[in-house]
Structure 1
Amino acid sequence: MDMFRIGLIGAGSIGARHIKAIDEVAHIELVAIADPSPAAAQLGATRNIPVFADADSMLSEADIEAVIISTPTERHHADVMTALKHRKTVLVEKPITATMAEADEVTRYAAVQGCKVLVGHQRRYYPCARTAREIIQSGRIGRLMAVSGQWTTRKDDEYYAPEWRRDIKAGPILTNLIHEIDILRFICGDITSVSAEITHHDQQFAKEDAVAISLKFANQAVGSFLLSDRTPTPWTWEMALGENVKFPKTGMNAIRFLGTRGALEFPNLVLWRHSEENGNWHHEIRPEVIETPFIDAYIAQCEHLCAVARGLEEPIIDALNGSRSLDATLAAARAAGDGTRITLSQGGDQQDGPS
C-alpha cells in the first residue's frame, strides 16, 4: 500500500497523542504540521518535517491526503473550514465545533465540497462499544427500557488553579459529558429530550460540582446520568477500561443498559439474564462475562481515516452525527442553567442506533 500522508493542525497534548498513533501504523506518515508555537517548530526539526504558522499555508504547500485537527475547540470551525476549502478529508477532535451554528456550517460546506469530515469520538472504535451496540440492537436483553450511568471522580486541586477552569465553560458538562453522550447515542440511538439539576455547594465556583441528567431516547427508553468532578469513586469510563495510563484502572463498570429480558454492564461487558427463558424476580439471575479485546482506539481511528480518504469505508461518525452529540451536550448545559427540559429536533432520525 502507498504511504498515506497526513498533515496535523495543532501539535499540543492531543496532537501528540495522534502523532503517537500515526507512528504505530506502517503505511501512514506525518508529513507536515501547522502550529505557530516554538514547541511545534522543535518537533518539526526533530522529525525533519516542515512546520507552518497556519493551516492555510500548510494546506497550500504540503502534499497531504488528509488532515487531523487537534486545536482548541474555539479553533475547530475555522480550521475545518480551511481544510475543506482545500478539499481534504478531515478528522477533527471532539467536539466538532463550539456551537451548533458552526457545526451546521461545517456539515453543509463538507457536502458542497464533496469531502468527508470525521469527528474524533474515539470510544466508538473499541470492540466493547461495538459489541454492546450489537447486543442492544439484536434484542439479547429484550426491548431497551432504561440506561443508568455515571462519570464521577475527584480532580486534583491543582487542576482548578487556572481561573478559567473555575468557569462554567470548564465544568464537567461541557468538558466531560460529550464523551458519555456520544457513546450512549452510538449504542442506544438518538436523544430526544434532556433535563438536568446541578449543585455548586462544594467549591462554589461558577462551574458545577455535580449534575444529575435525565434523558429520553427516540426509541422511548429513558436514562439517567450522574456527573461530578468532586467525588472520589471508581466509576468512570477511563478507570473502568484503563484507557488512560494517567488514571488508575479499577475495572468497575459505570454504565448499565436495562432491557425487558436482561441487563448489560459496560464497558467491561457483563450480561445479566434469568435462568428461565421468560424469567422474573422469582428466578435466579446469572452473569455472563463477554470478553472483547482492548485496542488503541487512536490507532484504529487513524487507520479508519486513511480508509475513508481513499474511498474504502464510510465515516464511523461524520459531521452530522458529531453535531448531534454536540447538540445533546449543549442541551444538557442549557437545561442545567435554566431548569427546563430541552426537546431536541434530531429525535425523529434514529439512524445512529436501534429503533
Structure 2
Amino acid sequence: MQGKKIAIIGAGVMGKKHAQTIIKHPNTELVAVSDPYSDAMAQEFNVPNYKDLEELFNHVKLDGVVIANPNRFHVSTAIQCMQHNIPCLLEKPLAINTKEALCLIEAQQKLNVPVLVGHHRRHNKIIQQAKEIIEAGTLGTINTFNALWSVYKPDSYFDIEWHRLAGAGVLAINLVHDLDLMRYLNGEIESVQAMTSNKNRNLEVEDTISILVRFKNGALGTLLASDAAVSPWGWDQNTEENKDSFAVSPDQNCYFISGSEGALSVPNLEYWNYPKDQLKSWAVSLIKNKIEPNKEQDVYINQLTHFIEVIEHKAKPISSPEDAILNIQLLECIEQAAKNQNTVYIEQLNFLQKTA
C-alpha cells in the first residue's frame, strides 16, 4: 500500500503529536506543515512549511490533512480544505460554538468531503471492547452510568492567566471526552442538570463540577469531576493512555455502568451477573467476570488508521461533524444548567431535522 500523503495544519502541541504519529504509521507520509507563525516543527521533521494554505495546496499533492491549529480557525480551515476536495482529520473541538459548527456541517453537505473529528478516545480498543459487552446484552437494559474524573492540577498550572478565567475549567478543557464516551456507549442525552464550585482555589474558573444527565433511553448518569481533588480515578490515570502527562493507576476504574442484568466497570472490563437460572435478588451473590483490556496500543495510530479508511471511502467517520456537534451543544447546555440552576433540555438541531 502506498503511503497517504498528509499535511499538518498548526504546529502546536497537538500538531506535533499528529506529526509523530504520521511518521510512525507504516501507511502514511508527512509531506508538509502549514503554520503562519513558526517553521520550527517543519524543520524538525524535515518537511516544508507553508505559511499560507493556498500556497500549500498549490505546491503539494495531498491525500488528507490534520487540522490542529487554534480552535477559532477550525471551521474556516476545514471549509477551505474541503473546497480543495481534501479529507480532514479535525482536532476537537469541531467549532467554538454550535452556530459555527452548523456552518461547517452545511458546507460539508454541499461539498461532500469526509471529515473525521479527533475524539481520539473512541479509537481506544478498550472502549470498543466495552461497547461489544453492552451491545451483546450482558448488562440488560442500562439504568445508570457513573463517571469519575478527579486529579490535582499543580498550582503552577494557574500561573497562566487564561487558566484562571471562566471557560478554562474542567468542563470545557477536560470533560468533553468523558461526555463523548457516555454518549458513544449509551446513546444520546436528552436533559442535564449541573452544579459547579470554585471553593478550593477561589478563582473565577470552576475547579469542581457535578453533572446529572438523563439519556433518551431512560437511563440516568452522573459525571463528577474536579481538578483540585486527589484521587486515582480518571480515564488518563486508569487507561495509561497519556503516560507522558499523568501518573497511572491501572488497577482502578473510572466508569461504572449497571443495568437490569449486570454491571460493568471500565477500563478494566470487569463485569458482574447473577448465576444462571437463579432469581435476581440483592440477597444472591454476583459472579465476577473479566475480559482482558487491550492497553498495549497507540490510540493515535488507531485513529490515523481509521482516517486512512475514511480517505479511501472504506469507512464512515466514527466521529463525524454531525456527531461531534452534539458534544458542543451538550457543553453549552451544561454551562446554562449550572448558571441558572435548572434542568436544560437538549433541543434537536436543524440539520438533524432536515436529514431525518
Q: What TM bracket, shorter-length normalisation?
A: over 0.9
Matching residue within 320, 324, 330 for 1:318: 320
Task: Tell me the equivalent position of 2:347.
Answer: 345
Task: Tell me the equivalent position of 1:7.
Answer: 7
Task: Tell me the equivalent position of 2:300.
Answer: 298
Matched, 1:289 2:274: no
What is the alpha-carbon distance in structure 1 between the residues aligned to residue 284 and residue 46 of structure 2? 66
> Relative to structure 2, which stretch is displaced further, 241-250 or 131-140?
131-140
Deviation at 1:60, TM superposition (A): 3.3
What is the alpha-carbon distance in structure 2 between the residues aligned to residue 83 and residue 11 of structure 1? 17
> Relative to structure 2, which stretch is displaced further, 282-291 or 181-190?
282-291
Deviation at 1:47, TM superposition (A): 3.0
C-alpha contact 2:165 2:205 (8 A) present in aligned 1: yes
**Matched residue of 2:222: which SS?**
strand
Task: Tell me the equivalent position of 2:281.
Answer: 280
Matched, 1:99 2:97: yes
Deviation at 1:139, TM superposition (A): 1.4
What is the alpha-carbon distance in structure 1 between the residues aligned to residue 121 and residue 43 of structure 2? 32
1:127-152 residue CA offsets vs partner (Å, 9 max, x unmatched)? 11112112222211111001111111
Percent identity, please: 29
What is the alpha-carbon distance in structure 1 between the residues aligned to residue 82 and residue 300 of structure 2? 22
> Relative to structure 2, which stretch is displaced further, 220-229 or 266-275?
266-275
Task: Tell me the equivalent position of 2:190.
Answer: 192
Deviation at 1:56, TM superposition (A): 3.3
Matched, 1:89 2:90: no
Poorly superposed stretches of 4+, deviation over 4 Å? none
**Matched residue of 2:324: which SS?**
helix
> Relative to structure 2, which stretch is displaced further, 226-235 or 54-63?
54-63
> Relative to structure 2, which stretch is displaced further, 259-268 or 129-138?
129-138
Matched, 1:52 2:53: no
Amino acid in the other structure paired with 1:6: I
> Relative to structure 2, which stretch is displaced further, 48-57 or 81-90?
48-57
Deviation at 1:287, TM superposition (A): 1.7
1:181-215 residue CA offsets vs partner (Å, 9 max, x unmatched)? 11111100011111101111111111112111000
TM-score by length of structure 2 reads: 0.94
Task: Tell me the equivalent position of 1:353.
Answer: none
**Matched residue of 2:127: which SS?**
helix
Task: Tell me the equivalent position of 2:213.
Answer: 215
Amino acid in the other structure paired with 1:255: Y
Deviation at 1:106, TM superposition (A): 0.9
Deviation at 1:286, TM superposition (A): 2.4
What is the alpha-carbon distance in structure 2 between the residues aligned to residue 305 and residue 54 of structure 1? 24
What is the alpha-carbon distance in structure 1 between the residues aligned to residue 45 and residue 21 of structure 2? 15
**Matched residue of 1:77: which SS?**
helix
What is the alpha-carbon distance in structure 2 between the residues aligned to residue 46 and residue 342 of structure 1? 48
Deviation at 1:317, TM superposition (A): 1.0
C-alpha contact 1:324 1:346 (8 A) present in aligned 2: no
Task: Tell me the equivalent position of 2:268.
Answer: 268
What is the alpha-carbon distance in structure 1 between the residues aligned to residue 80 and residue 47 of structure 2? 21
How do 1:213-252 residues align onto structure 2 when only pairs under 5 Å count?
213-245=211-243, 246-251=245-250, 252=252
1:292-334 residue CA offsets vs partner (Å, 9 max, x unmatched)? 3221110011111111111111111111001112211221122
**Structure 1 pair 220–92 and aligned structure 2 pair: CA distance change class (3 A):** same
What is the alpha-carbon distance in structure 1 between the residues aligned to residue 303 and residue 43 of structure 2? 26
Deviation at 1:59, TM superposition (A): 2.6
Task: Tell me the equivalent position of 2:255.
Answer: 255
**Matched residue of 2:167: which SS?**
helix
What is the alpha-carbon distance in structure 1 between the residues aligned to residue 27 and residue 59 of structure 2? 22
Task: Tell me the equivalent position of 2:130.
Answer: 132
Amino acid in the other structure paired with 2:336: R
Deviation at 1:276, TM superposition (A): 4.3
C-alpha contact 1:122 1:301 (8 A) present in aligned 2: yes
**Matched residue of 1:223: which SS?**
strand
**Matched residue of 1:165: which SS?**
helix
Amino acid in the other structure paired with 1:305: F
Gaps of 5+ in 1: 351-355
1:23-70 residue CA offsets vs partner (Å, 9 max, x unmatched)? 1212200111111233xx133234332101133332333211111011
Amino acid in the other structure paired with 2:36: P
C-alpha contact 2:267 2:293 (8 A) present in aligned 1: no
Deviation at 1:249, TM superposition (A): 1.1
What is the alpha-carbon distance in structure 2 between the residues aligned to residue 346 and residue 241 of structure 1? 33
Task: Tell me the equivalent position of 2:201.
Answer: 203
TM-score by length of structure 1 reads: 0.94
**Matched residue of 2:7: which SS?**
strand
> Relative to structure 2, which stretch is displaced further, 281-290 or 258-267?
281-290
Amino acid in the other structure paired with 2:191: S
What is the alpha-carbon distance in structure 2 between the residues aligned to residue 10 and residue 313 of structure 1? 26
Gaps of 5+ in 2: none
1:233-269 residue CA offsets vs partner (Å, 9 max, x unmatched)? 0011000011111211102101101101110001221
Task: Tell me the equivalent position of 1:328.
Answer: 330
| RMSD value, Cα | 1.8
What is the alpha-carbon distance in structure 1 between the residues aligned to residue 37 and residue 92 of structure 2? 22
> Relative to structure 2, which stretch is displaced further, 304-313 or 48-57?
48-57
